Amino acid sequence: MDILTEVVASMRTGRPRSARTECRAPWGLRFPEGKGTGFHVVMSGTCWLITPDGSSIPLSPGDIVFLRNGAEHILTDNPGSPVVEFAPERADPSSPIGQITVDGPGPRTSLLCGAYHLDQEQPHPLLAALPEVIHLSPHRSRHQALRYAIDMLGAEVEQPRPGSEGIVAELIDLLLLYILRAWYDDQPADAKAGWAAALTDPAIAPALRAIHSDPGRRWTVEDLGDRVGLSRAAFARRFTALVGEPPLAYLTRWRMTTAATLLRESDTALGAVGELVGYGSEFAFAKAFKRTHGLPPGQYRRRLRPAA
């Protein structure tokens, strides 16, 4: 059970959006606040990122920026250049790929900009623990998979061919996992804490995989501790220190996350959803789900799937 993949999949609520962005200096683009997470890949040229707190970060070819909460920010050739709103055009409204061009007399910068639709109402602590802005500069000697994904994206965006739209959509989807994995890998081993450590901890990672693989099981702290060779007390302390909440609290969180995914993406009966995540009665499940999500399961499903 791949915890990172499962967490990302559980938060996705739609396909990612993207736009090929071609700008010639002087230029500046303001990206409005969004409900998901935003990303930018510098395919060629250089530019500056003006972060939500007003800081300026220089970006070079191959650089990637990930904005966890989709906060308003600016990309520009120079911090003093005029700024316009980012508003890509889409020749086909159903296409996940848009286009924006800013003409000017100066040097050209090519970017791939986009956003992932993630459920921010109930963010998983693995993502909530990330910094607001992640800046990565992958090179051949490090994060090769991320570098190759960027190269493939660049080839498809620069010279579209039959099938490019589907390929770009899949690569953008994978890019989120590559970005998160690269950031976690970049944390110094002696400074890793929280989820950066939990994902590889010899005791906590197996326990998390057990919870994720079978959320409906009647887990106890003793059961989980026994699986990894720790006493109940020692396991509970270690789990809480890294994950940020006690084992059974996280179990309940993951049960409700799993239930929400099933309600959004399947027609499974409410009672069956409850059973799959460990509740013997539909009433008990509805009560627990409402306490977490603010709505009973049926109403939650109707809100997100009005035609279902």
DSSP 235-278: HHHHHHHHHSS-HHHHHHHHHHHHHHHHHHH----HHHHHHHTT
Structural domain for 299, as ranges:
197-304
Per residue in 159-197, pLDDT (tens digit) is 778 887 788 878 888 888 999 888 888 877 766 678 888
Report how far residue 242's alpha carbon sits from residue 228's, in angstroms, rounded to the nearest whole number.
Answer: 15
CATH code of the domain containing 117: 2.60.120.280
Q: Tell if the pTM clears 0.85, that is, is over it.
A: no
The proportion of the chain whose per-residue pLDDT surpasses 70, expressed as a percent, equals: 94
Task: Tell me: do 233 and 109 sit in the same domain.
Answer: no
Task: Tell me: do 179 and 224 sit in the same domain.
Answer: no
Task: Tell me: do 138 and 228 sit in the same domain.
Answer: no
- Locate the DSSP E strands across the chain: 17-24, 28-31, 37-44, 47-50, 56-59, 64-67, 73-76, 84-85, 97-102, 108-116, 133-136
Asked, for residue 76, whether it belongs to a domain, the answer is: yes
Asked, for residue 191, whether it belongs to a domain, the answer is: no
Task: Tell me: do 113 and 17 sit in the same domain.
Answer: yes
Task: Tell me: do 28 and 100 sit in the same domain.
Answer: yes
CATH code of the domain containing 214: 1.10.10.60
Backbone angles phi, psi at 269, to 5 degrees: -60, 150
Asked, for residue 192, whether it belongs to a domain, the answer is: no
Burial per residue of 162-181, b for 16 or more beta-carbon CB atoms within 10 angstroms, e otherwise: eeebebbbebbeebbbbbbb
Task: Tell me: do 120 and 217 sit in the same domain.
Answer: no
Task: Tell me: do 14 and 140 sit in the same domain.
Answer: yes
Task: Tell me: do 15 and 132 sit in the same domain.
Answer: yes
Name the domain count of the chain.
2
Asked, for residue 12, whether it belongs to a domain, the answer is: yes
Hey, is 43 helix, strand or coil?
strand
Asked, for residue 289, whether it belongs to a domain, the answer is: yes
Task: Tell me: do 143 and 276 sit in the same domain.
Answer: no
Per residue in 262-293, pLDDT (tens digit) is 998 899 999 999 999 999 999 999 999 999 99
Task: Tell me: do 153 and 201 sit in the same domain.
Answer: no
Report how far residue 289's alpha carbon sits from residue 292's, in angstroms, rounded to the nearest whole number.
Answer: 5
Asked, for residue 214, whether it belongs to a domain, the answer is: yes
Task: Tell me: do 165 and 54 sit in the same domain.
Answer: yes
Q: What is the mean pLDDT of the chain?
A: 88
